[in-house]
A = this chain, B = another copy of it.
């Protein structure tokens, strides 16, 4: 049996997503990660589907599981941060691996009312704030 060396045959997180986000939890289909931008409570869902680039690369069962994971991530943000609005987006123009942004928005956040991309420079969490934020989100998932 030969193996193709150019395409991964198991799920691997794209290096850019690994660099920009921190691990939070494994949901039914997706890895849940925290975007390293303290400007907004910003989650990223990455389906563990090999070589998926578009939502249309998922089968119906996977798409519905993605919808359920988006719902769970949205409720997590609503419960923990009480935002004014949730933004959900699969863009992927730069990083080709399918990933979905789930972002808590406030009328006083630095990009409001525009979408967050291209507005203000990302603010990395300090180590202390990152640990606090990750623990807060993980604990809320357990309750």
Show the binding face of A for B, using Cβ within 8 Å: 54-56, 60, 63-64, 66-68, 70-71, 74-75, 78, 85-94, 105, 112-115, 117-118
Contact = CB atoms under 8 A, between A and B. Distances in A.
Nearest to A77: B56
Contact of A91 (B54, B74, B87, B118): B87
A86 B55 contact: yes
Main secondary structure of the interface of A (DSSP, over half): mixed
Contacts of A88: 55, 89-90
A130 to B, nearest CB: 26
Indicate how many identical chains form the complex. 2
A54 B67 contact: no
Nearest to A113: B93
A85 B54 contact: yes
14 contacts: A54-B85, A55-B74, A56-B86, A60-B68, A60-B71, A63-B68, A66-B67, A85-B93, A88-B89, A88-B90, A94-B113, A114-B117, A115-B115, A118-B118
Nearest to A88: B90
Given A93-B112, A115-B118, A56 B85 contact: no
A128 B117 CA distance: 34
Contacts of A54: 74, 85-86
